[in-house]
Structure 1
């Protein structure tokens, strides 16, 4: 949810944005023409960094990288303290899914809430002032995946994204893990509301160890799953009359207070709510968690396994107690980031990077969401707890809808999304898009058939 200070600070921007979303998009400050010019020297490192540590470069990013160098640029991305565009805040504030409590949204249709969640997540990926933070929000949203259309999850997902994921995206993993465990959206999605003494439901316990911490080969057993489930009995969502519905609640009457044994650790009887907190401490400190997260981060940012980098990431986790910035430094400073094999853009990467590079305007509404849906990556719509896949093979079947998006964007056929820089030549548009000078063949094709050719080209499909 937006803070009171953010809402008060919107001022005139919020008032102007309270009409139609396309108007709010047009109020954004457009990049000056000279920001589209390529800097002297190689641009591949900058394009690669902004494509991996964000959702692609924007006008001016390549020049800033050339002036500051890799190390200073990475540290700025890690710091992530740039103020957000007031117009972006205004657009997000108009969405009930991000500004209302779960119990206040009960009159809204589930599909409408999911649509707003998708719109808000997309706007932030395109216009967010801190690209690495937005990239990590995407990573953790999939790591702690919640399927929006399930039961009451949609009404609770906005709060989860803001307070569990966004507030901790570059902070402490153990803190985010505990907040996720208490998240009403997560408790509902993984059925922990049904986890009571004498009838333990193992769904959350299993995913906690398999997907959130230790990994499938992390050294736990089926008995560990059963014992962890017992520890989390009574962790549920408030639904009682005259109470704040939709918030976390621990019910001692539904908790199994017996003795438990988890991963070799004895949890004495009578611990109550602290039983589950002990479990979270055990799994967050386990060496398998450091290794599992190091592997996932390496695959996400580098596209393939790098044992040396993974070892450094796992070591950083252990030394800092799970500080996410410390874990990212070995990856972002690794030669593999700039010199390794390219990664096929997932649909969100493709769409967001196109709009960012061309300084496009979008309201993030249904028409552009339909393109993401056709490509297979609509936010909140992955039903399994493992999140959208990272491997390129998972997205190789989406080429036709990718091309359809490319030409629809170039030809102005996506309502609410426009390329407004008519003052740019086609050659400059292609250079801005690719971050390098195009070869003569591609430029001739663009001159003949339009910018959609460049958007659909192999050069732009990879990052």
Structure 2
């Protein structure tokens, strides 16, 4: 509702520019400067060495998932959150990995740089300990090159197979990244010269003599140059644009839209907000019919926001077990997302959660989402969420038809299709119990109206 008010009377591109120009202060008790999430107050070394996490590193990953979920529910920076999720799927590290102690910090790097350029962000993520451990960078040496990261860098994170890279390209990426690891002594990414390959490197137009040196920073700088080169290629610009358009629009974006986004990417050296702004400003954005279903986490977050729900526990009274923040209700939320196959970061392969609509359009998945929105609107999950926020604008309805109109305006900012409106009004009328006190009846019917409107196609699509 707040976003709708902000948009009223504004140009969409102008509003988006404001959303992407700066990060607004968070207001929610779990997100503001006094956040109880310990990983948000500590740096990577402090987190790793903290007694609360030292022998329970999985708690770091779990807290990262919980923090991200709260961000999606209550952040004042909604557009930013969608970009963070997009980049987390683009260059992913699983929730649980050999470096789960670094998972929360990996998320911080994305959040702190998502309003910058993709080449810069990709270079940072490629050398981050979470990625080095996930794709075997720690074991990549000149004598025994490990091509895992090199292959994914070319196939998924930059130019993609459409560019026609070769096996030699993969090997040369591995060679340039050889000897690079993360030290748990000084908590720095460094290169060990004795384990690094020296000699000429050539990858997709990038060439470097790669002369022998004993300087770790020089080796790291060369690796960053290679990654930066790959990330600025036209093939990467096109792949990035296609994937972003598929996330925000549909599975088959028009060539004209992709060309516009690609041009912006090249012109701005890969500005992430710049490419998104081009997408939203393009005629296709408003003209394209909404066809993609909300992914489970997106569906849950939008329902929580629309109903004005709060996590049911008192968030101002931090609850800790062994020094680790515990919110029982939030644990249940994460269990729900896990059951629906969309727990934050919990995707084991480097391609990230699927973009295409069919992956999230199964009948079973849709039933789960319908059941969840019904339970939330009916306040049937009292141990997790507060009551729906039924304000005067909703409760002041005059007829069932008026009620459905008010609810659809709040949820969809537009009327329902005439057929859906008639069907929902009919169902509400059949369940109208006039023996209830007026206030109780109004609340009951309003909750039922929310559940029914949330079962429509319009609510379940992006």
TM-score tier after normalising by the smaller chain length: 0.7 to 0.9
Give the Cα–Cα distance (whole angstroms) in 2 for the partners of residues 383 and 440 of structure 1.
Answer: 45
The verdict on how the C-alpha distance between 1:445 and 1:337 changes in structure 2, with shifts beyond 3 A counting, is: farther
Give the Cα–Cα distance (whole angstroms) in 2 for the partners of residues 251 and 446 of structure 1.
Answer: 70
* Aligned residue in 2 for 1:77: 19
The verdict on how the C-alpha distance between 1:90 and 1:316 changes in structure 2, with shifts beyond 3 A counting, is: closer
Equivalent residues in 2 for 1:8-157, closer than 5 Å: 59-85=1-27, 87-90=29-32, 93-100=35-42, 101=44, 102-104=47-49, 106-107=53-54, 109-152=56-99, 154-157=100-103
- Aligned to 1:366, what secondary structure does the other structure show? helix
The verdict on how the C-alpha distance between 1:95 and 1:446 changes in structure 2, with shifts beyond 3 A counting, is: farther
* Aligned residue in 2 for 1:361: 310
Give the Cα–Cα distance (whole angstroms) in 2 for the partners of residues 324 and 298 of structure 1.
Answer: 12
Asked if 2 retains the 8 angstrom alpha-carbon contact of 1:347 and 1:377, the reply is yes
Q: Is the counterpart of residue 393 in structure 1 residue 342 in structure 2? A: no
Match of 2:298 among 345, 349, 357: 349
Asked if 1 retains the 8 angstrom alpha-carbon contact of 2:58 and 2:101, the reply is no
* Aligned residue in 1 for 2:246: 299
* Aligned residue in 2 for 1:326: 274
* Aligned residue in 1 for 2:258: 310
Give the Cα–Cα distance (whole angstroms) in 1 for the partners of residues 171 and 359 of structure 2.
Answer: 33
* Aligned residue in 2 for 1:248: 189
Cα RMSD after superposing both structures: 2.2
* Aligned residue in 2 for 1:275: 222
- Aligned to 2:454, what secondary structure does the other structure show? helix
Give the Cα–Cα distance (whole angstroms) in 1 for the partners of residues 359 and 2 of structure 2.
Answer: 33
- Aligned to 1:273, what secondary structure does the other structure show? helix
Worse-superposed segment, 398-407 or 186-195: 398-407
Q: Is the counterpart of residue 284 in structure 1 residue 283 in structure 2? A: no
Match of 1:445 among 411, 427, 433: 427
Q: 1:311-364 CA deviation, whole Å, 9 max, x = no partner?
A: 111111111211222212221112221121212111121111111122221377
Give the Cα–Cα distance (whole angstroms) in 2 for the partners of residues 459 and 213 of structure 1.
Answer: 35
Worse-superposed segment, 339-348 or 416-425: 416-425
List runs of 5+ in structure 2 lacking aligned partners.
214-218, 313-328, 396-402, 432-444
The verdict on how the C-alpha distance between 1:115 and 1:452 changes in structure 2, with shifts beyond 3 A counting, is: farther
* Aligned residue in 1 for 2:285: 337
Higher RCO (CA-CA < 8 Å; seq separation 6+): 1
Asked if 2 retains the 8 angstrom alpha-carbon contact of 1:178 and 1:280, the reply is yes
Give the Cα–Cα distance (whole angstroms) in 2 for the partners of residues 221 and 185 of structure 1.
Answer: 27
- Aligned to 1:383, what secondary structure does the other structure show? coil
Asked if 2 retains the 8 angstrom alpha-carbon contact of 1:298 and 1:306, the reply is no
Asked if 2 retains the 8 angstrom alpha-carbon contact of 1:92 and 1:120, the reply is no
Q: Is the counterpart of residue 461 in structure 1 residue 426 in structure 2? A: no
Give the Cα–Cα distance (whole angstroms) in 2 for the partners of residues 261 and 60 of structure 1.
Answer: 52
Give the Cα–Cα distance (whole angstroms) in 1 for the partners of residues 8 and 41 of structure 2.
Answer: 39
Deviation at 1:394, TM superposition (A): 0.2
Worse-superposed segment, 120-129 or 95-104: 95-104
Q: 1:394-421 CA deviation, whole Å, 9 max, x = no partner?
A: 0122112212212221232333322342
Deviation at 1:264, TM superposition (A): 4.1
Q: 1:132-178 CA deviation, whole Å, 9 max, x = no partner?
A: 111100100000110121222x2101111112x11121211111011
Q: Is the counterpart of residue 230 in structure 1 residue 155 in structure 2? A: no
Asked if 2 retains the 8 angstrom alpha-carbon contact of 1:210 and 1:218, the reply is no
* Aligned residue in 1 for 2:435: none
Match of 1:173 among 118, 130, 149: 118
- Aligned to 1:361, what secondary structure does the other structure show? coil
Q: Is the counterpart of residue 182 in structure 1 residue 127 in structure 2? A: yes
Asked if 2 retains the 8 angstrom alpha-carbon contact of 1:148 and 1:157, the reply is yes
* Aligned residue in 2 for 1:432: 410
Give the Cα–Cα distance (whole angstroms) in 2 for the partners of residues 65 and 351 of structure 1.
Answer: 22
Give the Cα–Cα distance (whole angstroms) in 2 for the partners of residues 311 and 281 of structure 1.
Answer: 21
Give the Cα–Cα distance (whole angstroms) in 1 for the partners of residues 207 and 3 of structure 2.
Answer: 53
Q: 1:280-335 CA deviation, whole Å, 9 max, x = no partner?
A: 13202221111111111111111122211111111111112112222122211122
List runs of 5+ in structure 1 lacking aligned partners.
1-58
Give the Cα–Cα distance (whole angstroms) in 1 for the partners of residues 380 and 20 of structure 2.
Answer: 36
Give the Cα–Cα distance (whole angstroms) in 1 for the partners of residues 377 and 33 of structure 2.
Answer: 24
Worse-superposed segment, 252-261 or 98-107: 98-107
The verdict on how the C-alpha distance between 1:412 and 1:104 changes in structure 2, with shifts beyond 3 A counting, is: farther
* Aligned residue in 1 for 2:380: 413
Asked if 1 retains the 8 angstrom alpha-carbon contact of 2:138 and 2:179, the reply is yes
Asked if 2 retains the 8 angstrom alpha-carbon contact of 1:446 and 1:453, the reply is no
Give the Cα–Cα distance (whole angstroms) in 2 for the partners of residues 185 and 302 of structure 1.
Answer: 30
TM-score w.r.t. length of structure 2: 0.81
Deviation at 1:124, TM superposition (A): 1.0
